[in-house]
């Protein structure tokens, strides 16, 4: 499962996510407003060291462009998932975008990648099957913005996901910007303690969806 992308991610620290590493970006291939090529170009202009375009349920940004030729780009995807009655997002990093293991879990229509109720209920991606598929594709599985999971016992959920093979938690995330102040969520400190408790990799990104001028 180990590859150069995974080695990079394992060695990132808080400083990196504040200075030139952004592993959570969406493009026009899902619900973002910027072309992946423009995102890569802008990242270069702004001095980013590494980025990951993690579109919802699709890897078309990699299959239909040549952005993976850039060494700054780490292949990724963000899956919309259900585990019993819990809805959450699972990021996959360092995947082989040509791996057949991922195909059963990918969107088959554009609607299944956009801000639409169809996207939320398009698949039953249970972690028991999805996480091994991510590993088979050479990647690691990371629970996205875990502090947003307010309707459950987060410790128990992370423990369950770890048993399914979860590799990491998205720790560095702009909750104060992305979420309403009325939305109560766990703190980054709590997430960091969980990552340490279950020996999980810590990742981070801005969850960017906007116009290229805002990147």
pLDDT of 67-107, one tens digit each?
A: 999 999 999 999 999 887 888 999 999 999 999 999 999 99
Instruction: Please report which helix (H) or strand (E) contains residue 190, including its range.
Output: helix 188-197
Q: How far apart are CA 93 and CA 140, in angstroms?
A: 5
Q: What number does CATH give the domain 4-214?
A: 3.20.20.140
Give which of 197, 202, 145 is closest to 175, Cα–Cα.
Answer: 145
For the chain, the domains span 4-214
What is the pLDDT averaged over residues 189-195? 90
Euclidean distance between CA atoms 123 and 46, whole angstroms: 37
Residue 1 has pLDDT above 60, yes or no: no
- In terms of Cβ atoms closer than 10 Å to its own Cβ (0-12, 13-18, 19+), residue 199 is exposed
Q: Is the per-residue pLDDT at 183 higher than 60?
A: no
Cβ neighbours of 120 (radius 10 Å) = 13
């Amino acid at each position: 499962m180990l590859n150069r992308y995974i080695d990079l991610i394992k060695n990132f620290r808080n400083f990196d996510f504040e200075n030139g590493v952004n592993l959570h970006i969406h493009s026009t291939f899902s619900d973002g407003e910027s072309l992946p090529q423009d995102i890569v170009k802008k990242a270069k202009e702004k001095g980013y060291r590494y980025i990951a375009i993690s579109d919802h349920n699709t890897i078309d940004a990699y299959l239909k462009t040549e952005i993976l030729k850039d060494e700054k780009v780490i292949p990724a995807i963000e899956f919309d998932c259900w585990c019993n009655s819990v809805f959450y997002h699972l990021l996959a990093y360092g995947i082989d975008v040509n791996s057949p293991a991922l195909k059963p879990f990918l969107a088959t229509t554009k609607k299944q990648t956009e801000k639409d109720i169809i996207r939320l209920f398009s698949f039953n991606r249970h972690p028991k099957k999805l996480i091994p598929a991510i590993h088979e594709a050479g990647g690691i599985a990371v629970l996205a913005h875990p502090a947003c999971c307010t309707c459950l016992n987060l410790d128990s959920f992370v423990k369950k996901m770890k048993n399914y093979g979860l590799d990491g938690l998205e720790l560095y995330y702009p909750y104060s910007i992305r979420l309403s102040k009325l939305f109560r969520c766990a703190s980054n400190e709590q997430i960091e303690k969980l990552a340490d408790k279950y020996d999980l990799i810590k990742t981070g990104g801005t969850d960017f969806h906007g116009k290229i001028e805002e990147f």
